[in-house]
Chain A
């Protein structure tokens, strides 16, 4: 009589019990939505913060001044040597004449700078680096390149950026970790409450000779469906919330200091992550919740 695995029955029972115990299913979905929204909001905050810091990193460049004795041609010839320095990603050459012109423009072309000769400036490279944390080491390496007269880098500012990003990422990770544990606890208790109402059903099944696996599967299906439903609801609510917060920030952001990644650009990441987290807390919560009732 016994058959090994009856997927049709498990799915049918799992779906059926979602509607039979409608209120508890609704409560479980609401809890999953709330937990995902809170976790999602913190994650998006961390991601945007990291992105903004990344932008600022990009603007944080090193100025490599070439020795005065080098002609423009020999200065240009140094580019391959600079690019070979570890951590250097880009080196943009600027002649002393261009540097003077830029100097004048930056100061509003005031008359006093009209007679300034260009030999007070040096040919230079503006160098971008891959890892801002290695700026001090890269600066030292650049200074070793023959023909380089001086290297100016805002090492302290770079270290400040790194510190802020590391602290922000750490805080976000800790918060997300705590929220994940809290979410699992809440979901497990919500499903435990739902399961409590069905302890008689479980006890009857056990007395009839049902295996633990047979009893567990419909709950797994139920948890999975509730988790995925909660994920989808949370995904769209998060979208709306993000757009709303984004519009408020843009309106109050006169200096354009704050930039936000468009939600649509993150959909391919957010949706699978939400679904995965929803499925894990739905199924995990179900398994934790029925464990106690299986001990008959």
Chain B
């Protein structure tokens, strides 16, 4: 569960990225966070992942109070999250299997756990035949599936996807979104940050719109649709 209460964020250069944001995402939800560039979407993601600290307000993520979280606790909080990036961020010199095992070993999984978990996750994302391929040998859509598999492999309670379809064509984008929907149906909370209006409108999900650091709408079914919800 994620809870932002009256959150403000001002960067060192004086930019006020968030101006009193209230947001609650419950376990098992699928949420689109939408808005134009510079609206504050990425700032919310960075706050949730503890990359940056908030200036004012309160923030809870999966039982961790990020207002007074110690640096030692941050890795353990992050283990409750699976993060997917627009540019995939796969390690080019590692195979699909190695990219996943790398993520599992990073949180202390044993080789037995790695061998048991990875085939299941690869099958879930439809890449069970490609575990020995290197990222450069895969299409963009397949690389993003690997990134999703990596986010899932440690069994997080929440997946955060930051513009996951930004580098993909419409068909591959739809496939990725359907895959995220499937993951959500299996019980994982999903937060997708995007500004792809057409894609969002194809799913009947909760949409939170942000602009100029403020949430301007929060509802289900449709992204603006020509007017604010």
Tell me how far the C-beta of B50 lies from the nearest C-beta in chain A, rounded to whole angstroms.
9
| A204-B103 in contact (CB<8A) | yes
Give chain A residues whose Cβ lies under 8 Å from the Cβ of B75.
206, 209-212
Chain A interface, DSSP helix/strand/loop, else mixed: helix
- Contact flags A200-241 to B (C-beta < 8 A → 1, else 0): 110111111111101100000000000000000000000000
B113 interface contact, C-beta 8 A: yes
Contact A209 to B102, CB < 8 A, known contacts A1-B113, A3-B108: no
Give chain B residues whose Cβ lies under 8 Å from the Cβ of A209.
75-79, 81, 106-107, 154
Identify which of B51, B91, B103, B113 contacts A200 (C-beta below 8 A): B91
Q: How far is the CA of A3 from the CA of B109 in the complex (A)?
A: 7
- Contact flags B56-91 to A (C-beta < 8 A → 1, else 0): 000000000000000010011111010100000101
A-B contacts, CB under 8 A, total: 58
| B102-A204 in contact (CB<8A) | yes
Find the A residue at minimum CB distance from B108: A2
A71 interface contact, C-beta 8 A: no
Contact A214 to B110, CB < 8 A, known contacts A207-B49, A209-B154, A296-B51: no
Q: How far is the CA of A33 from the CA of B154 in the complex (A)?
A: 42
A119 interface contact, C-beta 8 A: no
Give chain A residues whose Cβ lies under 8 Å from the Cβ of B110.
3
How many chain A residues touch the partner (CB < 8 A)? 22
A20 interface contact, C-beta 8 A: yes
The number of chain B residues touching the other chain, given as a range, is: 20 to 34
B115 interface contact, C-beta 8 A: no
B197 interface contact, C-beta 8 A: no
B228 interface contact, C-beta 8 A: no
Contact A208 to B108, CB < 8 A, known contacts A1-B113, A20-B93, A200-B89: no
| A208-B89 in contact (CB<8A) | no
13 residue pairs A–B, Cβ–Cβ below 8 Å: A1-B113, A1-B154, A3-B108, A20-B93, A200-B91, A201-B91, A205-B103, A208-B79, A209-B77, A209-B81, A209-B106, A214-B108, A215-B106
Give chain B's interface residues, CB within 8 Å of chain A: 49, 51, 72, 75-79, 81, 83, 89, 91, 93, 102-103, 105-110, 113, 150, 154
